């Protein structure tokens, strides 16, 4: 049997280990936490779970049947190959420093957005470089082959527009979309927060410090990108609609499906191209059940082929921070 790699998870909250038991549980098909993915994966095992709140650490340890602690010193005992940092964003840098004070893993997996700002993200990158540790950032769509395959298709077509309908935070949720835009459309050129400038809708449906706003952007290979806010208290949604000269790509069901419609050059209603609705093709991305599986598959590939390119690392996370922080974008 091939080697199994030990994973320690720092932060036992919603993405780390403790989604509600009826949603994410051992043996369930809906894999929504790092602990669940590692628990189910034949190539990895949970070496330890760490949370500063002792009760939370204990509950996580009981749920996933593994060593738990509220002290980083357990890392020296559990000796993980990989450490996942799934603490709140404001603690990302501090958590990494605490990890390196006690142990040097081969790989750090940092939850997005990788620090509170570009300066912290850069410091995280620098610490990993100094320690000689690889850094993966969990923008999970970056590791999904369906979204990577869409990148290849979009580079072969003329992109006309792209629209995101979303909620629960311009940073928390829309950063996933910006990661995709960076991957699909080349260089970011400009962005404007229409909610701030013209009083368009804005919702504090996640946090007053991270509102869900209306934004327009322009990229090298996409001239118009629209981010449409919806109040998450009314309806949860994350859907993307891309129109090119050859296809319409609709990413629906919170990213779980890509529906493709061809553009009919002969025209249906006149002598001009139109989207052909009766010829759609649907592909399941497996995002809800396989999102973390694709991340850990990429990590496994990195152990097998050490020089393999990291699909979403520190530089990718830094580029997203820099888009938010450009003074001319007025995204905040």
> How far from 248 is each of 3, 45, 159, 161, 262, CA to CA, in Å?
44, 41, 10, 10, 6
Burial (CB count within 10 angstroms: exposed 0-12, middle 13-18, buried 19+), residue 55: exposed
Return the H-helix or E-strand segment holding 239: strand 239-244
Question: Does residue 16 belong to any structural domain of this protein?
Answer: yes
Q: Are residues 172 and 211 in the same domain?
A: yes
Q: Are residues 251 and 299 in the same domain?
A: no
pTM: 0.94
Question: Does residue 329 belong to any structural domain of this protein?
Answer: no
Question: Does residue 332 belong to any structural domain of this protein?
Answer: no
Taking a C-beta distance cutoff of 8 angstroms, is the pair 155, 234 a contact?
no
CATH number at residue 181: 3.30.360.10
% of the chain surpassing 70 pLDDT: 97
- Domain range for 14 is 5-140+292-314
pLDDT of res. 265: 82
Q: Is the pLDDT of residue 1 over 70?
A: no
Q: Are residues 19 and 40 in the same domain?
A: yes
Residue 234 pLDDT class (50, 70, 90 cuts)? very high
**HSE of 206, CA atoms in CB hemisphere, 13 A:** 17
pLDDT of res. 290: 86
Q: Are residues 281 and 149 in the same domain?
A: yes
More confident: 230 or 326: 230
Question: Does residue 321 belong to any structural domain of this protein?
Answer: no
What mean pLDDT do residues 250-271 have? 87
Whole-number mean pLDDT of the chain? Answer: 94
pLDDT digits (tens, 9 = 90+) for 133-159: 999 999 999 999 999 999 999 999 999
pLDDT of res. 287: 82
Tell the residue number behind the tokens 């496994």, with chain if given.
300
Q: Is the pLDDT of residue 176 over 80?
A: yes
Cα(126)–Cα(314) distance, integer angstroms = 9
Question: Does residue 179 belong to any structural domain of this protein?
Answer: yes
Nearest by Cα to 238 from 147, 308, 311:
147
Question: Does residue 325 belong to any structural domain of this protein?
Answer: no
Q: Are residues 128 and 224 in the same domain?
A: no
Residue 331 pLDDT class (50, 70, 90 cuts)? low
Q: Are residues 49 and 120 in the same domain?
A: yes
Taking a C-beta distance cutoff of 8 angstroms, is the pair 235, 167 a contact?
yes
Q: Are residues 123 and 29 in the same domain?
A: yes
| Tokens linked to 267 | 């025209």
Question: Does residue 73 belong to any structural domain of this protein?
Answer: yes
pLDDT digits (tens, 9 = 90+) for 179-230: 999 999 999 999 999 998 888 989 999 999 999 999 999 999 999 999 999 9
% of the chain surpassing 90 pLDDT: 84
Question: Does residue 127 belong to any structural domain of this protein?
Answer: yes
Residue 90 pLDDT class (50, 70, 90 cuts)? very high
Residue 329 pLDDT class (50, 70, 90 cuts)? very low
Could you tell me which residues come within 8 angstroms of residue 115 by beta carbon, excluding any fewer than 6 positions away? 89, 92, 93, 121, 123, 124, 317, 321
What's the number of domains the chain is made of?
A: 2
CATH number at residue 117: 3.40.50.720
pLDDT digits (tens, 9 = 90+) for 11-37: 999 999 999 999 999 989 889 999 999
- Does residue 243 sit in helix, strand or coil? strand
Q: Are residues 17 and 55 in the same domain?
A: yes
């Amino acid at each position: 049997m091939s080697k199994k790699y030990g994973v320690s998870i720092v932060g036992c909250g919603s993405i780390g280990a403790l989604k509600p038991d009826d949603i994410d549980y051992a043996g369930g098909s809906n894999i929504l936490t790092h602990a669940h993915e590692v628990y189910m994966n034949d190539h990895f095992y949970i070496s330890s779970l760490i949370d500063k709140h002792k009760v939370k650490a204990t509950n996580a340890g009981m749920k996933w049947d593994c060593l738990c602690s509220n002290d980083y010193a357990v890392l020296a005992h559990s000796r993980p190959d990989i450490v996942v940092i799934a603490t709140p964003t404001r603690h990302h840098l501090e958590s990494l420093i605490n990890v390196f004070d006690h142990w040097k893993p081969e790989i750090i997996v940092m939850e997005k957005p990788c620090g509170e700002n570009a300066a912290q993200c850069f410091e995280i990158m620098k610490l990993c470089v100094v320690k000689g540790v690889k850094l993966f950032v969990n923008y999970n769509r970056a590791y999904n082959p369906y979204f990577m395959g869409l990148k290849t298709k979009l580079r072969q077509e003329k992109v006309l527009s792209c629209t995101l309908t979303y909620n629960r935070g311009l940073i928390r949720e829309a950063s996933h979309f910006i990661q995709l835009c960076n991957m699909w459309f080349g260089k970011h050129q400009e962005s404007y927060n229409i909610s701030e400038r013209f009083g368009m809708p804005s919702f504090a449906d996640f946090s007053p410090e991270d509102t869900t706003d209306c934004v327009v952007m322009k990229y090298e290979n996409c001239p118009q990108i629209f981010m449409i806010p919806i109040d998450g208290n009314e309806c949860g949604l994350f859907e993307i609609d891309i129109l090119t000269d050859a296809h319409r790509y609709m990413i629906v069901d919170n990213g779980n499906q890509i529906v493709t419609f061809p553009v009919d050059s002969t025209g249906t209603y006149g002598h001009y191209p139109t989207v052909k609705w009766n010829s759609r093709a649907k592909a399941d991305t497996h995002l809800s059940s396989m999102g973390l599986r694709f991340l850990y598959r990429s990590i496994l590939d990195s152990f097998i082929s050490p020089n393999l390119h990291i699909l979403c690392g520190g530089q990718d996370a830094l580029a997203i921070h820099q888009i938010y922080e450009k003074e001319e974008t007025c995204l905040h």
